[in-house]
Chain A
Amino acid sequence: MKPRLEIVSTDRQTTASPVVLDVDQVSKRFSFAGSGGISVLEEIGFRVRRGELICILGPSGCGKSTLLKILAGFMPPSTGAVRLNGKPAGRPGPERCVVFQEDALFAWLTVRENIAFGLRGRAMTRREKERAVDRFLSLVGLADFADYLPAEISGGMKQRVSLARVLILRPEILLMDEPFAALDAQTREEMQDLLLRLWSELSHTIVFVTHDVGEAALLADRVLLFDRAPGRIKEEIRITLARPRGKTEADYYALCRSITAKIKAL
């Protein structure tokens, strides 16, 4: 059976939404003294519309994390440009937030203080900040762990905190760099469900980097399939399976198989 990749979307109409992120022919070369240099990304171009969830899928070493760093503003592209709402995206800032793969929480702050960190200096009263933190604590299911330190909670909980501390800033776009890769299978599934639930509640725009085919098939509106190094967009796969996508359903399996086949053919 040929996988039905072009099912009409029922849950979300994003084609008419405005473009939030415009990645315009971004290339990245790293040069080393003596040995010339290596090309990591070659002419990456794509657009993300408001409310879309895009997965960047590719084998390790294909430059997908580098691309995410460029999108976040942590490093400049060698050529090309990144535009956010039509304006050049410069230094990193709370309009483009990252959930890192590794634990990047502040070890000396409690869960509550970590989530409140980005609100410092915002024009909100203390009361408003507390209410916002409480709301996001319960959104990610950590209300009972507010006063724990990062060292005292599990890996899955840490990623929940990482998610909450950026969602509270209401970023224009959420950049996620293999955020669940280091978690065990069951926790990963819980986190994927949580992400989808938060996404449908808060309608964020998300760019999600992963090397896991199943994860991309479960989450994405569109999958950008990256070639092996140097990274290039090999193919764009639009997924229109209705959500929630059952991991046991035939359509989902067919989709995974077809993407896996494309990766093997790289």
Chain B
Amino acid sequence: MIRRIVVMTQLHRWLNWLLPGLFFLIWLGVCETGIAPPYLLPHPKNVLATASSYIFGDAAPSAFAGRFCADVTASGVRVLLGFGLAVAAGIPLGVLSGRLALVNRLLSTTINALRAVPGISWLPLAMVWFGIGIKTTVFLVALAAFFPVYLNAEAGARQVNPTLLQAGAMMGVRRLRGTFAILLPAAMPNIITGLRLGLGISWAYLVLGELTGVPNGLGALIMDARMLGRIDIIVVGIIMIALIGRLCDVGLHQLLCISFKSARRMS
């Protein structure tokens, strides 16, 4: 019995690595057997070597050796700025729109219309407006991340049980304090969902923004590699973005749990 519990907890701990492991084995399999030729899908061991050279640099001079730190820093700053702008606008506007019919009426048509425009259609316009570089990327990231943050904050604020607000009012809580002591904590599960979706989308649009000729960043890396026909670098870039994206998601969740009781206790 006890052994079974131990096995179950072990299984539970490693379960999230099952699918990545499986993908890796399939990848290894199709390369080893020659089902996929190297110019379509590079062998894992080559990708590993490229990744090591990309991260740590190496003796053999290569366009990509040792670029990792600069790329991640550049991309991280862009994501942070864009996502930060989206949060700074999305949460206050979303909460206001969820609680005040007037604000909702004012914003909902415009925001839902803009939401229907695919982010990529903004790219040419952003390049005209902001030129090639960090501003375009930050603009695209902020724009894309805004919608999930806003919409979830709005839904969260709207769905707060009115009895909770009445309970606050009767205990002498006025509007402003009620917003921070009751409304935001009660809407926290939705707000967290919005933030996590927003951060995920930030990474997606980061790559889009960096495809346009900036010299550094993970998107630029992938684009440069495509032009040089270095498919192994593309794979490295994709894996890097997946890892960093997942890491950011975990980090964001941890940060929220450390900062807010409501995040810690209701999700």
A contacts, CB < 8 Å to B: 72-74, 91-94, 96-98, 100, 102, 104, 106-109, 117-118, 120-121, 149, 165-166, 169
Contacts and interface: CB of A to CB of B under 8 A. Distances in A.
B171 A166 contact: yes
B262 A118 contact: no
A93 B172 contact: yes
Contacts, number: 59
A98 to B, nearest CB: 5
A102 B188 CA distance: 21
Instruction: Across the A-B interface, give the 7 residue pairs with the lowest CB-CB distance, nearest first.
Output: A118-B171, A108-B262, A92-B169, A94-B172, A104-B163, A104-B167, A92-B170
A94 B261 contact: no
A121 to B, nearest CB: 7
B185 interface: yes
Contacts of B261: 108-109
Nearest to B163: A104
Given A92-B166, A98-B166, A169 B265 contact: no
Most buried by A among B166, B185, B261, B266: B166
Contacts of B170: 72-73, 92-94, 96-98, 166
Contact of B172 (A104, A109, A121, A149): A121
A106 B172 contact: no
Contacts of A102: 163
30 contacts: A72-B166, A72-B170, A74-B166, A92-B166, A92-B170, A93-B172, A94-B171, A94-B172, A97-B170, A97-B171, A98-B167, A100-B163, A100-B166, A100-B167, A102-B163, A104-B161, A104-B163, A104-B167, A106-B186, A107-B186, A108-B261, A108-B262, A108-B265, A117-B171, A118-B172, A120-B181, A121-B177, A149-B265, A166-B171, A169-B172
Nearest to A93: B172
Contacts of B192: none
Contacts of B87: none
A248 B230 CA distance: 89
A108 B161 CA distance: 14
Contacts of A118: 171-172
A265 B232 CA distance: 87
Interface in B154-199: 161, 163-164, 166-167, 169-172, 177, 181-182, 185-186, 188
A26 B10 CA distance: 66
Contacts of B181: 117, 120
A108 B188 contact: yes
Given A73-B169, A97-B171, A117-B181, 8 more contacts: A91-B169, A92-B166, A93-B169, A94-B170, A97-B170, A107-B265, A108-B266, A166-B170
Interface of B: 161, 163-164, 166-167, 169-172, 177, 181-182, 185-186, 188, 261-262, 265-266
Nearest to A96: B170
Contact of B266 (A92, A97, A107, A165): A107
Contacts of A121: 172, 177
A169 B169 CA distance: 13
Contacts of A72: 166, 170
A97 B171 CA distance: 7
Nearest to A165: B171
B190 to A, nearest CB: 13
Contacts of A106: 164, 182, 185-186
A121 B172 CA distance: 9
B173 to A, nearest CB: 8
A74 B169 contact: yes
A100 B169 CA distance: 13
Most buried by A among B169, B171, B181: B171
Most buried by A among B169, B172, B265: B172
A33 to B, nearest CB: 15
Contacts of B163: 100, 102, 104
A81 B155 CA distance: 36
B164 A104 contact: yes
B94 to A, nearest CB: 19
A74 B165 CA distance: 10
A3 to B, nearest CB: 37
Contacts of A107: 186, 265-266
A136 to B, nearest CB: 14
Contacts of B167: 98, 100, 104
B204 to A, nearest CB: 31
A13 B113 CA distance: 67
Nearest to B166: A74
Contacts of A169: 171-172
A73 B171 CA distance: 12
A108 B262 CA distance: 5
A120 B164 CA distance: 16
Contacts of B172: 93-94, 118, 121, 169
B261 to A, nearest CB: 5
